[in-house]
Amino acid sequence: MTRAWIVGLVAALLVAVALAVAALVLLSPGDDTLVLDLDSGDCFDVPADIADATIAEVDTIDCTKPHEAEVFATGELNPDRDQPYPADEQQLFARVDRQCAAVLADRPDLVERFGVLPVVADEQSWNSYRGRYVCVAIPYGGGTTERSLGL
């Protein structure tokens, strides 16, 4: 793959994600796992309603079985609960995207095969989740993988 093609694909993915991410962390009751409660190494399938930007919960899957997404890192942007929700969501997601990408910086084999979906607490859950973010790897072009990223 050429570098320009990869950069273009990543840019297109980021635009699509930016449109969908604001609602990715809507908190609602149910039996599934809330996206913000996922930890590194949790695998799941991307819900069919991602285009509607309504992802709140997912069913986790054993990473040795076919799956569409894996959490490879998490963090908190507001650990002391003393910072207001950022006014500029684009900057917020860009910051988290950089932090997620930094985790994969030494793994070019993964960077070539997976796109990064940064998931961030929304304004309603910002304080209760301490500004938590979740870094999700999704295979380029869709599809599934049958093993853990091993990060």
- Structure token pair of residue 66: 């076919």
CB 86 within 8 A of CB 120: no
- The fraction of the chain above a pLDDT of 90, given in percent, is 47
Predicted pLDDT at 25: 43
Q: pLDDT per residue over 56-84, tens digit each? A: 788 899 999 999 999 999 999 999 999 99
How far, CA to CA in Å, does 95 sit from each of 60, 99, 101, 135? 26, 6, 10, 12
In whole angstroms, give the CA distance from residue 90 to residue 27. 21
Q: Quote the pTM value.
A: 0.75
Predicted pLDDT at 33: 87
Show me where the domains of the chain are located: 3-139
